[in-house]
Amino acid sequence: MSKTTNQIKPSEITPESAFLSRRRLLKSAAAAGLIPAIGCDAAQIPADGDFSNLKAWPSSVTEAPNSYEDITQYNNYYEFGTGKEDPARNAHTLVTSPWTVEVTGEAEKTGKYALEDILQPHTLEDRIYRFRCVEAWSMIVPWVGFPLGDLLARFQPNSQAKYVQFFTLNDPNQMPGVRRNVLQWPYREGLTIAEAMNPLTLLTVGVYGKVLPNQNGAPLRLIVPWKYGFKSIKSIVRIHFTDRMPQTSWNMSQPSEYGFYSNVNPNVDHPRWSQASERRLGSSLFSSRIPTLMFNGYADEVGDLYRGLNLVENF
């Protein structure tokens, strides 16, 4: 029988020492007025890192979320193994505190920033974003985060910044999967500057009312809900502003199968399978598939980003 959310302790997913280290970082960041995803002072942060007092973002989907166990036990994170269960087994080796993010390229304020400097004050009270996510399976995930654009604006990108590229930590000592040449490391992803500044693009620090577990991309990951899951890069250590379309890991590996945009599009099949329908994680292999929605159901919010762009050629 699956555990309920309240029965699962963060220490069951992440080693307690790593979890407590992140908790101390979050608490001190909040005390300094730096943390954007909580919206309360340090005295209001529960000792177990519980974010469940946060309100849902008004535009969150109304579908019931997948279980915490589904979300944290079934992951694509090749740095910790290619099997879906490998990250939950192996990601305890990831050290998430201290953590720095380097900002480079076409921006006025570049350099290395500690995680607590990345986290900034934020005025919104609605912090839990219940988004649809589509990868091998689809799921509904309640993320805790804030719009990426709020952070990028602080770095003052210049007029040459047409794209933003992101890099994951590349450390074979912490990440056993990096010792294998399944991809060109470090893992990297990219967005147009307009995509990055869209309010639905999140920088995420938590999931299901808890601090983000290692296997879900701790301590800082991207969520781009209208794109396939591999675009939502994990454990970010570098943000690079550039004037040209950046390299992305899966496009580098298999360019005929994975384009730069990778928008959820039921009208464009992967060369080896149809993308017109999907199956919700947790359902039976024999259950009915559901139709895939254009832009994963977020067409009203992001459709204008691609006006005039051929989405078959630019997949």
| Contact of 131 with 144, CB cutoff 8 Å | no
Structural domains of the chain, ranges and CATH numbers in brackets: 5-306 (3.90.420.10)
Could you state, in chain order, the average pLDDT of each consecutive group of 10 residues for the chain (315 residues)?
33 37 41 32 38 76 91 96 97 96 98 86 62 85 91 96 98 97 97 97 90 95 97 98 98 96 95 92 82 96 97 95
Eight-state DSSP code of residue 304: G
Distance CA 211, CA 23 (A): 8
CB 224 within 8 A of CB 105: no
- The half-sphere exposure of 159 on its side-chain side, counting CA atoms within 13 A, is 0
Q: What's the per-residue H, E or C state across 35-65?
A: CCCCCCCHHHCCCCCCCCCCEECCCCCCCCC
pLDDT at position 2 is 33
- Confidence (pLDDT) at 52: 67
Please give the structure tokens belonging to residue 212.
Answer: 């983000």
Nearest in space to 131 (alpha carbons), one of 56, 235, 44: 56
Q: How many CA atoms lie within 13 A of 34 on its CB side?
A: 14
What would the two tokens of residue 130 be? 């219940």
pLDDT for the residue 15: 40
pLDDT at position 121, please?
A: 57
Amino acid letter, residue 34: L
In this predicted structure, what is the pLDDT of residue 211? Answer: 87
What's the whole-model pTM score? Answer: 0.83
